[in-house]
Structure 1
Amino acid sequence: MKADKIKIQNLEVFANHGVFPEENVLGQKFVVSAVLYTDTRKAGQTDELTASIHYGEVSAFIDRYLKEHTFQLLEKVAESLAEELLLQTKGLQKIRLEIKKPWAPVGLPLETVSVEIEREWHTAYIALGSNIGDSEAYLKEAIDKLDHLPTSRVEKVSSFLVTAPYGVTDQPDFLNGCLKLQTLLYPEELLRELNRIEQEAGRERIIHWGPRTLDLDIIFYDDLICEEDDLCIPHIEMHKRSFVLKPLEEIAPYKRHPVTGKTVREMLGELENAGQETADA
């Protein structure tokens, strides 16, 4: 479903941003335009302001934020403002933000320069696993740390299940789970945070598929298909792993694989049927 739009066009703000010291001291005019992507259906039906985004409050927030902060680059102004608006504005799913700088000091006759960006909330599904020490404590601590990232929030968490080890079988059973995360982080940024949380839990990458205090994997990120050297989304092995599909099916049974088009429930059913056929053979 496409989001509706509320537009704020050419809001003038006098603020102190720029590379040159005099720009930070003397200040200058900036012109801000924003497209706020949200769902206006309820407001349209009820005629209640609280059911929508108050564009007056957003305009006041933009004015106040630009005046209270000082940045060198327009890119930083736009990035920081977009992030704060997404974090602070209830119902805001996505924002397109343009910040214009009239009479930029480039020594040439120009009317304006500007930076325009789009930022939005993304949905990621993360698999969790542990088979060393207090596994339940490691998983719960990881969930708490993800929920307390400044630009992320945990929406759903599956129950934990005990599963046999995968790959290297001569090791303790695992405790596994999955969670749904709303995040402003890009995939590579999210991966870095997951690696940091693993390291803080004492994760050591010694044996592939070996025992570990904590394992965090990105299974889905929106409907992104990514094939980088250090990051593959959707997770390349997910359709083979019941310890991923079972908890994932609990919180997102109808989430579709962006390549195969199969739902999580369908992939789990196929895997369980294949295992039953192998057992019957």
Structure 2
Amino acid sequence: MSAFREEGPEGEMTGQSIIRVERLCVYGHHGVLPEETRLGQRFVIDLEICADTRDAVEGDDYTQAVCYAALCERVVALVSGPPVRLIETLADRIARDLLGAFPTIARARIRVGKPGAPIAHGFDTVSVETTLWRQRSVGFSLGCNMGDRAAALRMAVTWLGLAPGLEIEAVSGLYRTAPWGVTDQPDFYNLCVTGRTSLAPHALLRLCKEIETRLGRTPGMRWGARAMDVDLLYLDDCAVSDSVLTLPHPHMTGRAFVLVPLAEIAPAQKISGQSVSDMLDRLPRAADDAVPCTDAPFCLTEDQT
């Protein structure tokens, strides 16, 4: 089931276009008064659609674009269809319908005008504007092996949860994990976070880096000790490959410290056609490569010694 967000984030994806349809006039029977639903009146609809048009532009391919006529036909069907009492409800229904019908639409801003509203004063029109953003599933891996590791991870999760455009749905338990890449360093504490977001991939990457910096991470040896590591694992089925970001995360399928906590909270999540639980089943495991801290209480006390 699709989910939508009512306020917009910063950082729209490149390759998006703004499509506007202005002053689409449709006769409908919406309103609170009996005369409005019986006699009907004219409604004026403005659409502002933000859509991913990269494929359409690259191939000059009409079939990959959002059809303006199809947008209008769906709006006309809704406005001329069964009545609602509030134009707020009508605007919301239009936005949700368009996001559900056109998968490349990232944002739908709908203004419903009611020039014949029953107001006993001179006025031009009454209108309501609604904006909905498409939300996508997202996963993060968090880890650190410096300082008070448990406290740092709790703070990182808090800052993720406070980010506009991101809603946290699940947080895994805490795991003590063996170092990966460079083994001559303290063990890590790791966890995973899943949620839904209306943020674009590079905006999510910026958020990860900002949290790392706030918690004291500085440039250092690759795979070395770190105060905080926040990795973006996946964003629905979004594929990105550029100089700063690769999605899905290219190394996650080979890392127990990612797959074990992620399988705890999102075993059925499909990434590149595979479920997280299947990835974990195929992963060669080492003894104690990811130990739940609930099974090893010393994990949570050794930072204080």
State whether structure 2 residue 253 is matched by structure 1 residue 221: no
Match of 1:199 in 2: 213
TM-score of the aligned structures, taking structure 2 as reference length: 0.55
After superposition, the C-alpha distances for 1:72-96 in whole angstroms (9 at most, x for unaligned) are xxxxxxxxxx9xxx9xxxxxx9753
State whether structure 2 residue 295 is matched by structure 1 residue 264: no
Q: Is the 8 A contact 1:131 1:173 kept in 2?
A: yes
Q: 1:227 to 1:31 in 2, by over 3 A?
A: same
For structure 2, the residue ranges without an aligned partner over 5 or more in a row are 4-21, 26-43, 50-83, 100-104, 113-130, 288-305
- Of 111, 128, 138, which aligns to 1:124? 138
State whether structure 2 residue 196 is matched by structure 1 residue 182: yes
State whether structure 2 residue 228 is matched by structure 1 residue 209: no
Aligned residues: 190
Question: Counterparts of 1:54 and 1:216 in 2: how far apart (Å)?
Answer: 47
Q: 1:238 to 1:10 in 2, by over 3 A?
A: same
- Of 84, 87, 100, which aligns to 1:56? 87
Q: 1:148 to 1:55 in 2, by over 3 A?
A: farther
Q: Superposition pairs for residues 124-143 of structure 1, below 5 Å?
A: 124-143=138-157
For structure 1, the residue ranges without an aligned partner over 5 or more in a row are 4-8, 13-29, 36-52, 62-81, 87-92, 101-116, 277-281
TM-score of the aligned structures, taking structure 1 as reference length: 0.59
Shift of residue 118, structure 1, vs aligned partner: 8.2
State whether structure 2 residue 176 is matched by structure 1 residue 145: no
Q: Is the 8 A contact 1:161 1:175 kept in 2?
A: yes
Shift of residue 189, structure 1, vs aligned partner: 0.5
Q: Is the 8 A contact 2:91 2:111 kept in 1?
A: no
State whether structure 2 residue 182 is matched by structure 1 residue 168: yes
Farther-moved stretch of structure 1 (208-217 vs 147-156): 147-156
Match of 1:238 in 2: 252
Q: 1:207 to 1:58 in 2, by over 3 A?
A: farther
Helix, strand or coil for the counterpart of 1:121? strand
Helix, strand or coil for the counterpart of 1:210? coil
Helix, strand or coil for the counterpart of 1:139? helix
Helix, strand or coil for the counterpart of 2:267? coil
Q: 1:2 to 1:216 in 2, by over 3 A?
A: closer
Shift of residue 180, structure 1, vs aligned partner: 0.6
Q: 1:2 to 1:136 in 2, by over 3 A?
A: closer
Question: Counterparts of 2:247 and 2:269 in 1: how far apart (Å)?
Answer: 14
Question: Counterparts of 1:54 and 1:221 in 2: how far apart (Å)?
Answer: 37
The AA in structure 1 aligned to 2:210 is R
Helix, strand or coil for the counterpart of 1:219? strand
Q: 1:167 to 1:118 in 2, by over 3 A?
A: same
Q: Which has the higher helix share?
A: 1
Q: 1:55 to 1:144 in 2, by over 3 A?
A: farther
Greater relative CO, 1 or 2 (CA 8 Å, sep 6+): 2
Match of 1:158 in 2: 172
Shift of residue 188, structure 1, vs aligned partner: 0.2
Question: Counterparts of 1:145 and 1:243 in 2: how far apart (Å)?
Answer: 21
